[in-house]
Amino acid sequence: MLWSVNKSQPNMDELVGEEWAEWYRLTPLQRWEESAKLWQIYLTLGGSLDPEPDSQSPFYDGAVSRSMPAHGRTGVRVLRRGGV
Q: What pLDDT score does 65 carry?
A: 62
Q: What pLDDT score does 45 carry?
A: 93
d(CA 2, CA 10): 11
Q: What is the pTM of this model?
A: 0.48
Q: What pLDDT score does 7 carry?
A: 61
d(CA 62, CA 82): 34
Radius of gyration of the chain (CA): 20
Phi, psi of 25 (to 5 degrees): -75, -15
Instruction: Identify which of 38, 51, 47 has the alpha carbon closest to the alpha carbon of residue 75.
Output: 47
- pLDDT means per 10 residues, the chain with 84 residues, are 57 87 93 95 90 85 68 60 62
Q: What pLDDT score does 62 carry?
A: 80
Q: What pLDDT score does 61 carry?
A: 84
Q: What pLDDT score does 43 carry?
A: 92
